Chains A and B, each alone.
Chain A
Amino acid sequence: MSSTMSLDIKRRSATTTPAPSARGAHGGEVAKLIDVSKCIGCKACQTACMEWNDLRDDIGTLAAGVYDNPTDLTDQSWTVMRFAEYENEATGNLEWLIRKDGCMHCEDPGCLKACPSPGAIVQYANGIVDFQQDQCIGCGYCVTGCPFNVPRISKKDNKAYKCTLCSDRVAVGREPACVKTCPTGAIMFGTKEAMHDQAERRIGDLQSRGYANAGLYDPQGVGGTHVMYVLHHADKPSLYKGLPDDPRISPMVGLWKGVAKPLAMAALGAAAVGSLFHYITKGPNEVSKELEDEMERKDQEAAEKEAQP
């Protein structure tokens, strides 16, 4: 979480009027570029993330049988290296595909779309998607909105947490902590445009070295992302421990948080207002005078019968 005061906001959860957006990111939107082909799996980025954000996860276990440690993202681990062993049948090589997992900072963020609490999730003008835990109510809707399975609800405070792209550092002109610490330069940071250029050079290099399918992962199904990958096998993103091939906000969430809202409100409003107008045009449904009189007569008869000895 960072202060919403330090950066301008482009989009704000559960808000139907424009966010304060007079000032724009004229220097360009930012992006982090993760070059998977240069990653050596040292986990320095995980450590830097813990260090900068004051997070301390429980020590994981080797019994999981994989190098991933911890084995999943948590409220204390906003980034995790995921190790995949891939036997490339074309070359006969065993490839170790190591992907730094974490929030992708979608241009069209499903978490923000699903969030019911005004301002609990914001997207800054520079593209970073950030959770404001003080506004978070712990409903978990963001989890359903995310196509990348990123947000984690803390057991301690029931708030949602994820990578902030070090929005606090970026706000004062510094790169994210993971970028700063990466010893091989596999993680880069700059404007989205600059990262596209950088990726193009890297992809050209990889293609010239035999990775014909090398490419950039900047999925358009979520409007592009502000965390992008250079993949040696961009044709098969799912090789990288389940990176979605074509991530999109679930149509269920689209329905629920999209058309359902105005339709339902209109229908219920019409039912209530329609009822009122029915009453004032048709009048109440009263008991007929005839029946009232009949019953009065019968009451009288019953009373007389009782009065007789």
Chain B
Amino acid sequence: MIRNPRDLVRYNASERANHWMVGICFILLVLSGLAFFHPALYPLTMLFGGGPWTRILHPYIGVVMVLCFVVMALRFAKLNVMEPHDYEWLKNVNQMIDGDDHNMPEQGKYNGGQKLLFWGLVIGMIAIGASGVVMWRAWWTPPVDAVRLASVVHAVAAVWMIGLIIMHVYAAIWTRGTIRAMMYGTVTRAWAKQHHRGWYRKVTGDND
């Protein structure tokens, strides 16, 4: 693909690196965590050097992910504040899913769905981080009832977030021309005008 010098920068290098730090950790955590969640997936521990190594590594990767996510969330929180047109967008989301975006209200850098995903992940990260700390036997032994509760919270938060990330990844694949924004940072002007017209106007000053 020939990149056009007039393409718009959507993410700078630091934002991209930050996103992929979280992404890589997330993938590793899903693989190692699911291995402990369901017997059918236990063989995934082999990717990490066996059961004990998976048990040792999982929480440390989790700490890295949560720290990187905190930085990323602070960067993007302001852009994800819900506004009236976001609720309007969400009301019409069925048409969007059906493949017809003609009635969708104009969106800024993020649409209502992306913003909901953002806050859904914030909630998930808080729940999974806090419960993970309670379950981390290498460092402390909380009361057993706390560990039991944490185990349930950890599993629910994990499934919640994996579900959101499946949506996140699929939306990026489905909306052609999106993945490059997180790979090398730019999107085409046509992409921006089609999907995020408000943002397009703001960064180009083009109000046609």
A and B, one complex?
Answer: yes
Interface of B is mostly: helix
Looking at the complex, which of B17-25, B32-40, B60-68 is the stretch in contact with chain A?
B32-40
**Known contacts A250-B145, A271-B163: A260-B152 contact under CB 8 Å:** yes
On chain A, the residues within 8 Å of B177 by CB distance are 286-287
A16 to B78, CA, bound (A): 47
Looking at the complex, which of A47-55, A65-73, A135-143, A231-239 is the stretch in contact with chain B?
A135-143
Question: Is B88 positioned at the interface, with any CB of A under 8 Å from its CB?
Answer: no
Residue contact A287 to B190, C-beta cutoff 8 Å: yes
A195 to B20, CA, bound (A): 62
Residue contact A267 to B163, C-beta cutoff 8 Å: yes
Residue contact A291 to B148, C-beta cutoff 8 Å: no
A135 to B208, CA, bound (A): 67
Question: Is A201 positioned at the interface, with any CB of B under 8 Å from its CB?
Answer: no
**A binding-site residues for B, Cβ under 8 Å:** 14-16, 116-118, 135, 137-141, 143-144, 149, 153, 158, 250, 252-253, 255-256, 260-261, 264-265, 267-268, 271-272, 275, 278-279, 282-288, 291-292, 294-295, 298-299, 302
Q: Which B residues between 146 and 165 are near A, CB-CB below 8 angstroms? A: 147-149, 151-152, 155-156, 159, 162-163
How many residues on chain B are close to A (CB under 8 Å)?
A: 51
**Known contacts A255-B152, A291-B190, A302-B6: A137-B99 contact under CB 8 Å:** no
Residue contact B38 to A265, C-beta cutoff 8 Å: yes
Residue contact A139 to B55, C-beta cutoff 8 Å: yes
Contact partner, B174, options A250, A252, A272, A285, Cβ 8 Å: A285
Interface of A is mostly: helix
A38 to B56, CA, bound (A): 46
**Known contacts A118-B42, A295-B188: A287-B147 contact under CB 8 Å:** no
A139 to B53, CA, bound (A): 11
Question: Is B52 positioned at the interface, with any CB of A under 8 Å from its CB?
Answer: yes
Residue contact B175 to A256, C-beta cutoff 8 Å: no
A275 to B135, CA, bound (A): 33
- Minimal beta-carbon separation of A222 from chain B (angstroms): 16
Residue contact A264 to B155, C-beta cutoff 8 Å: yes
A264 to B162, CA, bound (A): 10
Residue contact A16 to B39, C-beta cutoff 8 Å: yes
On chain B, the residues within 8 Å of A15 by CB distance are 39
Contact partner, A253, options B98, B148, B162, B163, Cβ 8 Å: B148
Question: Is B75 positioned at the interface, with any CB of A under 8 Å from its CB?
Answer: no
**Known contacts A137-B54, A291-B194: A260-B144 contact under CB 8 Å:** no
Question: Is B166 positioned at the interface, with any CB of A under 8 Å from its CB?
Answer: yes
**Known contacts A261-B38, A291-B190: A144-B151 contact under CB 8 Å:** yes
Residue contact A283 to B190, C-beta cutoff 8 Å: no
Complex: chain A residue closest to B100, CB-CB: A282
Question: Is B173 positioned at the interface, with any CB of A under 8 Å from its CB?
Answer: yes
On chain A, the residues within 8 Å of B97 by CB distance are 278, 282
Complex: chain A residue closest to B189, CB-CB: A295
Complex: chain A residue closest to B151, CB-CB: A256
Residue contact B99 to A282, C-beta cutoff 8 Å: yes
**Can you give 6 contacting A-B residue pairs, CB < 8 Å?**
A16-B40, A135-B51, A138-B137, A143-B144, A144-B144, A250-B145
A147 to B195, CA, bound (A): 55
Complex: chain A residue closest to B137, CB-CB: A140
Complex: chain A residue closest to B178, CB-CB: A285
Contact partner, A287, options B99, B152, B194, Cβ 8 Å: B194
A140 to B51, CA, bound (A): 13
Q: Which B residues between 9 and 23 are near A, CB-CB below 8 angstroms? A: none
Residue contact B147 to A143, C-beta cutoff 8 Å: yes
Question: Is B4 positioned at the interface, with any CB of A under 8 Å from its CB?
Answer: yes
Residue contact A252 to B148, C-beta cutoff 8 Å: yes
On chain B, the residues within 8 Å of A117 by CB distance are 42, 51
Residue contact B137 to A153, C-beta cutoff 8 Å: yes
On chain B, the residues within 8 Å of A268 by CB distance are 159, 162-163, 166
Residue contact A250 to B191, C-beta cutoff 8 Å: no
Residue contact B190 to A252, C-beta cutoff 8 Å: no
A264 to B137, CA, bound (A): 25
List 15 additional A-B contacts (Cβ < 8 Å) besides A250-B145, A278-B174. Answer: A116-B39, A116-B42, A135-B51, A139-B36, A139-B137, A141-B151, A158-B52, A158-B138, A260-B159, A261-B38, A272-B166, A279-B170, A279-B173, A288-B194, A295-B193
Question: Is B167 positioned at the interface, with any CB of A under 8 Å from its CB?
Answer: yes
